[in-house]
Structure 1
């Protein structure tokens, strides 16, 4: 399957699309006004310690204080040892060097760790641990053993007080390249340590690479055929970076000079717009309905117009298998994370359920984010988790509807008319007014004049005061004002 990376450089926004087999699989965005924070290192100050939650709130200079849990401060206990109390590790006012694990999402502040990790092309340096490991995505046992031996030797010789982890990109890398990576990481850590020593609390000590360069580290795998960038200056900078840090990627980088916008290739722009819709149509005629909430994401699978050719069981199985593929793609494309509940169409056959579960797991295997899928529940639901480190595409590109405040529904005209009547009665008890002026949306005023005219006339009679109506096109359907005259 051919794989390309498309990079669109705007005035205030950089967008990256990972395209596999002619279809966009992942979208990454970075805006000048709103950089992603994951991986950034800050000099923080402990604002509050919460022993009952085994956590602390840390001020790092962002809009909201960040959250630090004890599990992100010490390695996981072994042999049943108890986790130390947060009060033993932190106190209010203490300065601490922290790294962002998860960006702020919704009303939640950033999640932090003191177990810092500094990534490079092939390796990750662990300044506060002495662990040597190899990415689980490298499955060849011989290669895993080779990398472990090389890293053990490099650690003992160059970084005995640090830990090292081989990233997926290290598969097949020569020992000399890994050694150069260790040397680079040690220089970088010294610069970070020196900067942290003189920084004030609440300041950024080390920021991650710009998105256009970070993709070479995070997305560039062995199957990527080329990286196309639509800006000449940025293309030159990325090539220079690649020649220094990812030399094997430099020949893959090219300037895109086509007449059409780069995201019109393979329909990426259309994919982004469709990824903001709740409904995802399947080729068979079925469809998905995806709802993202703060607690979880739910996905409902429907047969729609597809009726199959043999029987109901065949129709259901075929739709569910197609849905499993589409769900895996949508999770990556929309960057949906956390708890995900999938309501496949009910299947009586255990064999059919197993087939759908295997299809979902195979489709998720290409996902860069860590996923875990659980068997069908007694209610026929599939529960899964996907690691969430940054905001979803919908949260980046959209905001809650000002009319419905994010509910997805608005009150009917009839409901608003009744609310206006109650508000007029309330105002009549509070104010010695000669009459009342009602300002509301045109369709609400129309409802008061037509459907609710009798009730309005009865209200005027009961209050013995006139009620004037005035349509305001700037008002939303739920908005209104009652003004005493």
Structure 2
């Protein structure tokens, strides 16, 4: 599969588009003033304990307090609390040696929030979910620092290897390497990308993450809650970190600084792929050059059209998302069951793309075209699972129910990407109702009569070109000539392509609009 990353840097932030075989599948927007992003670490102040929910509300500086549930507390929550207080109290980083830090006993899984966070202490937390709708951020105390090949989890000594590495020999090799190089009080999770990597590469990645942890320690010294302690890497780097593989064959950027940073990053993690980074400076908008603007306009909105003539209707509520599949005029055979299966298969591929593109999370209910054969329903479910394999968000696809509905759950980490592809009609202001054009001439004449009787002279009427043709048609029989004769005053009529069909305005001799 041909993967391309197109990065558009503007004054308000960075837009990142991921293309697979020239098709837009992910769209990310990183604002220049972005805060409370997933992965950011904050020093928070516990504001309220809610025993009934077994949760706490924590002030991290957002307008609404963040939510921390007991299940999102790390087993080493007491160690994090102890470390946070110690780091805030010391005067210099050298006096805080993390390798000598004494780990506290783990908390029990069925415990109570007020047993762990009594006294409403300050605590180091990580953003688990960004603020969505009216909700504040969701927090976690299971701190993790992701790198290219490994993820570091402070306060434990566990070593784990990704289950996506299927070779048992490779898993054992990686486990043995990490055990040998891992610092004390750090747990390490080996990522899928580490498969086949040598000790030096893993060690370098691990050392970088340990340095990040030292930065966190330094930022805690003398900090006052609420405060941001450390930000996740910028989205460009994090996407490269998570996605870069043999299929990822081009990164196009229109900003020299990010271009240089990206080349340096790729040089560091995959020196043989440095040439995939391209600087775009031909003067035209980068998203227009690669056809992304057009795809954005056609891919967002309530209706999504498919190449065959079938289409999707996507509706949203607070609790779930509903997708309806319609066959349109598509027909591959005279067999209704075959038509339904073919259309559903095409729709399933587009639905998987739409979920990634819009970053839709939560519960998604899909109403596919009804099929009678169980084998066809099974084929559709397997196809849906296959189409969603490329999705990095955690998800689950349930079998089609007896009502013909498929339920999908998808991890929601950030607000859904929503791009408005419609505009309010300037004629009716969104009401769907306009004055009859047959009466427009009468309406204009009434306004004209009012202005003339109130001593307005040398009037200019500006209208849409079509209306201009109607009012000026005929040299001696035009409506304009009739008005001039009737009101005994010069009336100039001018066309304007900026006006909508039924829009018109009167101007005086000084070319100032006459407000009625």
Equivalents in 2 of 1:17, 1:143: separation in Å? 34
Contact 1:46 1:91 in 2 (8 A): no
Answering whether residue 176 of structure 2 is matched by residue 152 of structure 1, we say no
Question: Aligned equivalents of 1:50 and 1:36: distance in 2?
Answer: 23
Asked whether the 8 Å contact 2:311–2:326 carries over to 1, the reply is yes
**Hey, what does 2:246 align to over in structure 1?**
222
8 Å Cα contact 2:253/2:280 also seen in 1:
yes
Displacement of 1:410 in angstroms is 7.1
Q: Would you say 1:54 and 2:54 are equivalent positions?
A: yes
Tell me if the contact between 1:115 and 1:128 (Cα under 8 Å) persists in the aligned partners: no
Matched, 1:283 2:307: yes
CA contact (8 A) 2:155 2:187 kept: yes
Structure 1 counterpart SS, 2:46: strand
SS of residue paired to 1:68: strand
Aligned to 1:238: 262
Residue 36 of structure 2 contacts residue 131 of structure 2 at CA under 8 Å; is this kept in 1?
no
Q: After TM superposition, give the deviation of residue 349 of structure 1 in Å.
A: 0.5
1:301 and 2:325 are equivalent in the alignment = yes
Q: How does 1:122-201 map to 2 (within 5 A)?
A: 122-155=149-182, 159-201=183-225
Q: CA distance change for structure 1 residues 294 and 178 in 2, over 3 Å: closer, same or farther? A: same
Q: Give the corresponding residue for 1:253.
A: 277
* 1:328 lines up with 2:352 in the alignment: yes
Query: 2:71 corresponds to which residue?
Result: 71
- Mark the runs of 5 or more structure 1 residues left unpaired by the alignment: 404-408, 414-472, 474-485
Which residues of 2 match residues 385-404 of structure 1 at below 5 A? 385-394=409-418, 397=419
* Secondary structure at 2:296 match in 1: helix
Structure-1 separation of matches of 2:169 and 2:323? 40
SS in 2 for 1:390: coil
- How far does the alpha carbon of each residue in 1:184-236 deviate from its partner, in whole angstroms, 9 at most, with x for none? 11121122022123211011000112223222212222311121111223212
Alpha-carbon shift at residue 252 of structure 1 (Å):
2.5
How many pairs were matched up? 400
Aligned-partner Cα distance in 1 for 2:169–2:366: 38
Tell me which of 335, 349, 353 is aligned to 2:373: 349
Q: Structure 2 unaligned runs (5+)?
A: 77-107, 435-502, 504-516
CA distance in 1, matches of 2:433, 2:75: 55
Equivalent residues of 1:296, 1:338 under 8 A apart: yes
Conserved? CA contact 2:333–2:339, under 8 Å: yes
Query: In structure 2, what is the Cα distance between the partners aligned to 1:41 and 1:143?
Result: 33
Deviation of 1:412 (Å) = 9.1
Whether 1:121 and 2:148 are equivalent positions in the alignment is yes
Distance (whole Å) between structure 2 residues aligned to residue 110 and residue 401 of structure 1: 31
Work out the CA distance in 2 between the residues paired with 1:23 and 1:399.
19
TM-score, normalised relative to structure 1:
0.77
Is residue 36–residue 390 contact of structure 1 (8 Å, CA) maintained in 2? no
Distance 1:62 1:272, change over 3 A: same
Q: 1:98 to 1:64 in 2, by over 3 A?
A: same
Contact 1:42–1:206 (Cα < 8 Å) also in 2 = yes
Q: Aligned pair in 2 of structure 1 residues 337, 203: CA closer, same or farther (>3 Å)?
A: same
The CA RMSD measured in Å over matched residues stands at: 2.5
Partner residue, 2:442? none
Contact 1:228/1:256 (<8 A) preserved: yes
1:216–1:249 contact (8 Å) kept in structure 2: no
Q: 1:379 to 1:204 in 2, by over 3 A?
A: same
Q: Distance in 1 between matches of 2:131 and 2:179?
A: 36
Farther-moved stretch of structure 1 (124-133 vs 361-370): 124-133
Q: Distance in 1 between the 2:38 and 2:52 partners?
A: 27
The structural deviation recorded for 1:393 is 1.1
TM-score (norm 2): 0.73
Could you say which structure has the larger radius of gyration? Answer: 2
Where 1:146 maps in the other structure, the secondary structure is: helix
Q: Is the CA contact (8 Å cut-off) linking 1:23 and 1:266 kept in structure 2?
A: no
Aligned residue number for residue 38 of structure 1: 38
Contact 1:30 1:36 in 2 (8 A): no
Matched, 1:359 2:415: no
Counterparts of 2:38 and 2:270 in 1: how far apart (Å)?
A: 22
Aligned residue among 330, 340, 359 for 1:316:
340
